[in-house]
C-alpha cells in the first residue's frame, strides 16, 4: 500500500495539499447544524420564541450554503488530482511499452483504457477523504460524548461489527477481482490474435468470457451481500438511540432535543462512516490494480 500512496503523492502532491486544506474547513461546519437543531427545539420552539427561531433558521441556511460552496471546491480539487494521476499512468504505460515491447498489445489496451481509471479515481481522494470523513466522525462523536456520554457509546457499539466484517469480505472480493483482471487481459490478447489471423483453440475465448461472467457474479454476490448486512447493522444504531434515549427521557435524565440531535448526528455519521468503509474497499482494489500495473511502468 505504501508504494501506491507514494506514487499518488509524487504525481499530484500540489492538488492533494490543496484538497486537504479545504477538507479541514468543512469540519467546523459539520457540527454547527446539529447544535442548531438542538437549539431550535429546546430554545426556540419549546418556549415559543419566534424571533430566536427566525435567527436560528437564517444561520442554519447560511451554514448550509457555505458547506456546499466548500464541498464544490473540494470535489473539483479531488477531480483534478484524479485526472492528473490517470494521465500520468497512461503516459508511463505507453512510454514503457513502446520502449520495451514486453506487454502483449491486448493487455496494453486493457491497462490503458480500463485499469488505470480505478487507480486514478482513488488517487483523487486518497489523502483528503481520510481527513474529511475521519474528521467528521471524530467531531460529531465528540459532540455526542459531550452531550450524553453513555448514549453516545451505546450508539457507537452498533458500528463495531461493520468495521470487523468489511475487511474479511473485501479480501475475498480482491481475490476474485485479480482473477477477473487476468482473464480480461487474456481475452484482449486472444481477440487481437484472432483479428490478426493467428490461430487459437476455438474453445479458449468463449471459456475465458464465461469465466469472467462467473467471477463478476461472485463479486456481485459478495458486494451486495455485504451492503445488505451493513444496512441492517446501520439501523441498529437508530434503534439503540430511540430505545435507550427514550428511556432516559422518561426517567428525566435527558431532554427530547438531545434525542433529536443524536438522531441527526447518526445521520451525519452514517455518510462519512459508509464513505470510509467504501474508501477501504476502493483503496484495497486500487492497491491490487496498481500492483498489476506497476510491473509494466
Q: What is the pLDDT of residues 198-256, one digit of tens each?
A: 777 777 888 888 888 999 899 899 888 888 888 877 777 777 778 877 888 888 877 77
Query: Mean per-residue pLDDT for 293-297?
Result: 71
**Would the pLDDT of 72 be above 80?**
yes
Lowest mean pLDDT among 28-32, 81-85, 204-208, 272-276: 28-32
Q: What is the pLDDT of residue 160?
A: 78
Give the residue numbers spanning the domain of 138. 2-296
Query: Mean per-residue pLDDT for 14-40?
Result: 82
Q: Helix, strand, coil proportions of the chain in percent (round to 5)?
A: 90, 0, 10
**Would the pLDDT of 99 be above 60?**
no
Q: Cell 438542538 maps to which residue?
A: 38
- Cα(112)–Cα(297) distance, integer angstroms: 11
Higher pLDDT pick, 77 / 231? 77
Structure confidence by residue, pLDDT tens digits, 164-198: 888 888 888 888 888 888 888 788 777 777 666 67
Q: Cell 430566536 maps to which residue?
A: 52
**Would the pLDDT of 103 be above 60?**
no
Query: Mean per-residue pLDDT for 264-270?
Result: 74
Number of domains in the chain: 1
CATH of the domain at 9: 1.20.1560.10
Determine phi and psi for 252, rounding to 5 degrees.
Answer: 60, 35
pTM of structure: 0.61
Query: Mean per-residue pLDDT for 10-32?
Result: 82
Q: Give whole-number Cα distances, 173 to 93, 220, 232, in Å.
A: 26, 9, 21
Instruction: Give the chain's mean pLDDT.
Output: 80
Q: What is the DSSP letter of 115?
A: I
Amino acid at each position: 500500500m505504501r508504494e501506491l500512496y507514494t506514487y499518488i503523492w509524487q504525481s499530484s502532491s500540489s492538488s492533494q495539499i490543496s484538497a486537504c486544506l479545504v477538507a479541514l474547513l468543512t469540519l467546523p461546519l459539520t457540527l454547527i447544524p446539529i447544535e442548531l437543531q438542538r437549539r431550535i427545539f429546546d430554545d426556540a420552539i419549546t418556549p415559543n420564541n419566534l424571533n430566536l427561531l427566525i435567527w436560528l433558521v437564517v444561520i442554519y441556511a447560511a451554514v448550509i450554503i457555505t458547506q456546499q460552496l466548500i464541498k464544490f471546491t473540494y470535489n473539483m480539487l479531488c477531480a483534478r488530482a484524479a485526472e492528473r494521476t490517470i494521465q500520468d499512468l497512461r503516459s508511463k504505460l505507453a512510454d514503457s511499452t513502446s520502449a520495451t515491447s514486453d506487454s502483449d498489445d491486448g493487455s496494453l489496451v486493457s491497462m490503458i483504457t480500463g485499469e488505470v481509471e480505478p487507480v486514478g479515481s482513488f488517487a483523487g481522494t486518497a489523502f483528503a477523504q481520510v481527513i474529511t470523513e475521519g474528521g467528521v466522525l471524530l467531531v460529531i462523536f465528540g459532540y455526542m460524548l459531550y452531550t450524553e456520554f453513555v448514549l453516545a457509546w451505546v450508539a457507537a457499539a452498533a458500528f463495531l461489527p461493520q468495521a470487523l466484517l468489511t475487511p474479511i469480505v473485501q479480501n475475498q472480493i480482491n481475490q476474485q477481482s485479480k482473477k477477473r483482471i487476468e482473464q480480461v487481459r487474456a481475452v484482449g490478447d486472444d481477440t487481437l490474435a484472432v483479428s490478426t489471423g493467428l490461430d487459437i483453440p476455438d474453445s479458449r475465448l468463449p471459456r475465458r468470457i464465461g469465466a469472467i461472467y462467473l467471477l463478476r457474479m461472485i463479486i456481485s454476490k459478495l458486494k451486495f451481500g455485504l451492503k445488505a448486512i451493513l444496512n441492517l447493522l446501520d439501523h441498529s444504531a437508530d434503534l439503540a438511540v430511540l430505545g435507550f434515549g427514550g428511556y432516559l427521557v422518561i426517567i428525566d435524565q435527558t431532554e427530547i432535543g438531545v434525542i433529536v440531535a443524536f438522531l441527526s448526528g447518526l445521520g451525519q455519521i452514517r455518510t462519512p462512516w459508509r464513505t470510509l468503509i467504501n474508501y477501504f474497499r476502493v483503496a484495497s482494489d486500487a492497491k491490487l490494480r496498481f500492483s498489476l500495473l506497476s510491473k509494466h511502468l
